[in-house]
Structure 1
Amino acid sequence: MVKKSSIFFLCISLAFQFSAFAQREFLTKSCTAEELKDLLVINQEWVIYPDYSNREAWDKLLGSHKVSLIENGEAYLDYEWKVVRATNYLDYSRTGNRQTMQDPYFDNQDALSALLLAELAEGKGRFLDQIIDGVFMNCEMTSWVLSAHFKISAKEVKNHFPDVNENLIGLYSSQTGAMLSWAYYFFKSEFDKVNLLISERIKFEVEKRILEPYMNMNYWWTALPPYADKKPKVNNWNPWCNANVLQCYMLLENDKEKLAKAVYRSMQSVDMFINEDKDGACDEGPGYWGVAAGKMFDYLSLLEKLTGGKISIFNKPEIKAMAEYIYRANVGNGWVVNFADASAKSKGNPYFIYGFGKAVGSTDMMQFAAYLKSQNPETTIAYNRDIDRALRNATISEALENTTPVFKTPVYSWYPKTEYCFMSNEEGLFLAAKGGYNQENHNHNDVGSFMFYVNATPIFIDTGVGSYTAKTFGPDRYTIWTMQSNYHNVPLINGIAQLPGAQFKATNTRFNKNKKTFTTDISKAYPEDAGVKSWVRSCQLKEDELIIKDLFSLSKTIAPNQINFMTWGEVNIEASGKVIFKVQDETVQLNYNSNLLKPSIETIYLDEKKLNNVWGDYIYRLSFDAITLQTEGEYTFQIKKIK
């Protein structure tokens, strides 16, 4: 069922303020490196899953999921393993296309993951030959790193080609290492019956590609020296890679000294990610939550098992805030608040969300997970080439099924450091607004932007992001229209858009929970050429309407100001002073001062699959151009739901 939360609910969890950039170091404060050795549960005795041969235990663990896992594996019984060719890698440098290399690579990983889970579910050896072929295929690859993730060499030549002499640890190389480590753990005896070299090869490759370089190289994503001295920008790479590397060590390394050193190093590194978090919000977008805060959950769960529960920080309110972001950013009907590189639609995995909610003691999160499961009952425990998550999902499946589905839209969620603000009311209105700055993780130039929904239907939107290419994370990022401020719900001031960079930011960002008003000055998000002294945007959510006010002061006038709103559905601007939006089953009216502003509509055709899967073939940019040039003034927009 769908239920609005009460004012009482509102006044909890996010009311506390975190000290800015606090050096929390929750993990390394739990013990010293020397003390850690005595806490470790070695020789894989921490594994809570049955041995491969224990069929009764597997049947009990997997329950109703056994059939679907076997069926998924059967689809790959005749799978032809794909070779990732040299030209597949080269295509990234030549054209900027990542998919040429990634598609066959991910197809192979999808196959291997499904086959591993199917064999664990069935236990008859039917999938073993294909698993062995998949293992061998991976071991024969020069590198497990994606073409887009190779570093730029010291000669400043883009090196997006695998080097046999270099073992880099990236998102998917570490994930492949983790998957092969699980294959080694569960099937070593079965592999050895076929040929002893199979298991030996797995261990050799994971040690060479993951274990040794992790201890002997410094990667930017670890945020450890020398990078710690440079105050690196820590993002999802940190927990994602560390969680995968930790699995490799936990499953393959039984020397207590070596294991302790590696684990403590990972604790130091993940502390840097937790330290970086300001208030629980995922500035990379909800699409990245599962591999940012979510991967931190994977890591913390593994560490908890490895230390027999002695190191556990799930009781920290900061960790709970990071967990709960995923349901606070959920609007309903699959729509999410999609600031940064994120799609506006996301189903979310209910098993995973439930598990994280249970760990941090969030009833709301667990009930939200049950709501997601009720909306998408076909969701399985299998999880994107991630054996650890799939198996953990199995352990909480029954508890999820017995949880009452409730989706509560909080009356507000306020993230004072990230400067995200979400508000909703009993009339079905939902507002998401932001301040922030233009160098956030996966940043779009969108300081002061907002999204507005009526009955979980988006009216004013953030378009999202298309498929990643070489441009997406290079110097040409902001030539992509979806990254530019003039295609977000913010103004062009004196005809000038926002610029990227940490110095282009909001100031004096505030939230008044009693008046349900979010206010921020976005003037510093624009270059000096814009001539803007102040531009204070306020968003007030009332019972049946949203009021947007832009109060501005300019040092000069060059060109008419333009206020942009991104939208979809049907838009009618024929009547003076009002615009009518018809989006799905909702009708909304926007009132404006026709003496100050003149509206126009631009149709933007979407030829990018990731975008038109969400919005259809086109969206609109509704622009209000100032009729007169003025150095000071105010633009007001009244947005009402038509009942």
Structure 2
Amino acid sequence: MLAERYVTENLSELLLSRENYKPFPTIEERNKWGELPPSLKKFWIDKGENKLNYSWPTITATQYMDYNRTGNRARYDTISWKRRQDLTSLVVAECVENEGRFMDDIVNGIWCICEETFWGIPGNAYMMKRQDPLPDVSDQIIELFSAETAALLAWTYYLLKTKLDAISIMVRERIHLEVKKRILDPYLNRTDFWWMGFNQESMLNNWNPWCNSNCLSAFLLLEDDPQRREAAVVKTMRSLDNYIGRLHSDGGCEEGPKYWIFAGGTLFDCMELLYGVSGGKIDVYQELLIQQIGRYIYKAFIDDSFYANFADSSANVDIPAELTYRYGRRIEDARLSGLGAMVLKKKREEATNVEFSAMFRLLPALFNYTEIEQYTGESPYIRDAWLDGIQVMVAREQEGSSKGLYLAAKGGHNDESHNHNDIGQFIVYCDGSPMIIDPGIVTYTSKSFFSERYTIWTMQSAYHNLPIVNGVQQQNGRQYKADNVNYHQEDTLASLSMNIAGAYPDSAEIKIWKRSISLIRDSHPCIEIKDNFQLQRMTDDITLILMTPHPPQIEGTGSIVLQDENHNKVIIRYNGEMFVVSTDNLTLEDEIMRDVWGDQLYRIKLKKMTAADQAECIIKISKF
């Protein structure tokens, strides 16, 4: 998509020189900074004032070794990210105010970060050739947060160059030295980073555009040699092509809506950088795949900050409002822009918060703030969507509203990026409120991405809305997948059916398990989950799981009521002569889970009362 089209002998003519590349106004160019809304100026100056005479937090070797010793990565990661977020706040405050009050603290922040042994995090040091509890300074790997750090320092240099030089030219030279050694040189000289995709990696994921976007920023802003700068652009385009080439035409993000921020969102960052440095000549926004990647996020949108979450995604997602708006404007999709504008208007000043200090997102968010506040666009509440590549369907009762029932369901396989064993999983919302849920993700530890991943309960099918058969859960691996997947949609019905038997190992003794998940839009709307199964032998060891954030109220044989704090209710009906109901209370101790669901989740278990080797089971969920 990129390299074949733009890597030609004329590429150098397309690229603006470093001197002529001016993507945003620097601190000397006061007009745009002066036009920012007063409330926005105050917000950022207040953030900067909170860091005046700042004592930058210390990062120790033993904090780094927590990951190796205990599996905990939060103590080190939190301090590392805080340093970068605090530097961002100070830089923006100085650009807004332009009185020099924040410059000493900015220089201290730059110096602290440049003094760090490793710009990445312990959880990503598995990329180093020598494995040790401490990072190998001789092995300059590029991972997510080392690239983020390079970009932050590059944007800081771009915005404040004259003020930094007035204090000491050593600050600028130190930024150049550290970014060149840690990022620019290894980016050009190495092809063994798996995320680049040059070794035919099959599992490319958000790392590719995320790392590339930040490395490209550093090159465009700091690299003095035009040939090296052009070589970096070429390599970026070739690497991005490796990623884009593995995406399905539906544009779906198999990593879930949270990771769209760092997959589709950072791919958009890359496209914007290339578009900007070429004066709009490198432009792929009319490509259908690029458009579909943007549209995914409103196809996954439920209501408020809730999104249809699968894989390692929370149900509660704080999408970058301005990026979503701008993506929609680039591809001329008023729904996508409308979602961005809606989110910004809801969050107002909170939308200026920085996630991982991504300055290339913050700067346009500042300068487009007023424009977005005045934009309406189209409603992002679409009625139906089917993403055939990742095998995800979504459906709601009515277009343009969160009122009524909402359903999302998935097929796929159990070796997806950030995979959970969840083939046949579904979620149900009522009037925008979660009723039957996907629990999401807990805080990452050393178990999260390696051999012990599936010892974590949130990854297991037993904690998704799925059957447990003969005491056996679904298994992880590419061979464990849905078969005969069929999607059907009309005005009165949206349904997804599949055989999920192949998601279970042989020990489950399942011949066929056909699951059909439907939203029926008639005079009495309901969601129906129909399971038809055939087993190799008679058994009563069959349990259907339903996960919910609300205490289940057993309303006699065959019915359960769920009610949220706003008195939204659904009633779950099942065959009370076939199943006996029980519930488990799951006390949530993980901070990420508690932020979304509160103190507890509940696992409803419908257990087969009599032995059978084949049967049909139907669960119906209606608004109550």
Q: TM-score, normalised by structure 1?
A: 0.92
Task: Indicate which of 45, 51, 60 corresponds to 1:85.
Answer: 60
Displacement of 1:218: 2.2
Task: Indicate which of 333, 336, 356 corresponds to 1:362.
Answer: 333
Query: CA offsets per residue over residues 295-318 of structure 1, 9 Å max, x none?
Result: 001110000011111111111121
Displacement of 1:31: 1.9
Structure 2 counterpart of 1:245, which letter? C
Which has the larger displacement, 368-377 or 426-435?
Answer: 368-377
Aligned to 2:224: 254
Counterparts of residues 304-453 of structure 1 (less than 5 Å): 304-384=275-355, 385-404=357-376, 407-426=379-398, 428-453=404-429
Counterparts of residues 496-507 of structure 1 (less than 5 Å): 496-507=472-483
Aligned to 2:575: 593
Query: CA offsets per residue over residues 11-36 of structure 1, 9 Å max, x none?
Result: xxxxxxxxxxxxxxx11122224231
Aligned to 1:242: 212
CA contact (8 A) 2:497 2:515 kept: yes
Counterparts of residues 154-553 of structure 1 (less than 5 Å): 158-225=131-198, 227-228=199-200, 231-278=201-248, 279-384=250-355, 385-404=357-376, 407-426=379-398, 428-514=404-490, 515-543=493-521, 544-553=525-534
Which has the larger displacement, 397-406 or 279-288?
Answer: 397-406
What SS does the aligned partner of 1:198 have?
A: helix
Counterparts of residues 57-68 of structure 1 (less than 5 Å): 57-60=32-35, 64-68=39-43
Aligned to 2:611: 629
What SS does the aligned partner of 1:107 have?
A: helix
Displacement of 1:494: 2.1
Structure 1 counterpart of 2:158, which letter? Y
Structure 1 counterpart of 2:3, which letter? T
Aligned to 1:101: 76
Alignment partner of 1:128 is 2:103:
yes
Query: CA offsets per residue over residues 279-330 of structure 1, 9 Å max, x none?
Result: 2111111111111100001110000011111111111121111111112211
Aligned to 1:14: none
CA contact (8 A) 2:142 2:193 kept: no
Aligned to 1:604: 586
Decide whether aligned partners of structure 1 residues 124 and 39 sit closer, same or farther in structure 2, where only a CA change above 3 A counts: same
Structure 2 counterpart of 1:346, which letter? V
Which has the larger displacement, 286-295 or 513-522?
Answer: 513-522
What SS does the aligned partner of 1:52 have?
A: coil
Give distance in 2, aligned partners of 1:538 and 1:618.
29
Give distance in 1, aligned partners of 2:367 and 2:349.
18
Displacement of 1:99: 1.1
Which has the larger displacement, 205-214 or 319-328?
Answer: 319-328
CA contact (8 A) 2:128 2:139 kept: no
Structure 2 counterpart of 1:531, which letter? E
Displacement of 1:377: 2.1
Give distance in 2, aligned partners of 1:456 and 1:51.
42
Alignment partner of 1:35 is 2:6:
no
Displacement of 1:53: 1.8
CA contact (8 A) 1:239 1:296 kept: yes
What SS does the aligned partner of 1:213 have?
A: helix
CA contact (8 A) 1:211 1:249 kept: yes
Displacement of 1:55: 2.4
What SS does the aligned partner of 1:377 have?
A: helix
Aligned to 1:556: 537
CA contact (8 A) 1:336 1:344 kept: yes
Which has the larger displacement, 452-461 or 36-45?
Answer: 36-45
Give distance in 2, aligned partners of 1:639 and 1:380.
36
Give distance in 2, aligned partners of 1:382 and 1:618.
28
Give distance in 2, aligned partners of 1:61 and 1:251.
24
Give distance in 2, aligned partners of 1:556 and 1:160.
51
Query: CA offsets per residue over residues 150-201 of structure 1, 9 Å max, x none?
Result: 025556xx43422221111111100110011112222222222222211111
Instruction: Provide the identity percentage.
Output: 34
What SS does the aligned partner of 2:607 have?
A: strand
Aligned to 1:567: 548
Decide whether aligned partners of structure 1 residues 27 and 467 sit closer, same or farther in structure 2, where only a CA change above 3 A counts: same
Give distance in 2, aligned partners of 1:248 and 1:377.
30
Give distance in 1, aligned partners of 2:411 and 2:535.
20
Displacement of 1:273: 1.6
Query: CA offsets per residue over residues 128-164 of structure 1, 9 Å max, x none?
Result: 1111111111111111010111025556xx4342222
Give distance in 2, aligned partners of 1:452 and 1:517.
13
Which has the larger displacement, 609-618 or 206-215?
Answer: 609-618
Aligned to 2:623: 641
Displacement of 1:564: 0.4
Structure 2 counterpart of 1:132, which letter? V
| Highest RCO, 1 vs 2 (Cα 8 Å, sep ≥ 6) | 1
Decide whether aligned partners of structure 1 residues 293 and 44 sit closer, same or farther in structure 2, where only a CA change above 3 A counts: farther
- Cα root mean square deviation, aligned: 1.6
Which has the larger displacement, 211-220 or 89-98?
Answer: 211-220
CA contact (8 A) 2:336 2:380 kept: no
What SS does the aligned partner of 1:570 have?
A: coil
Displacement of 1:405: 6.5
Count of aligned pairs between the two proteins:
612
CA contact (8 A) 2:404 2:623 kept: no
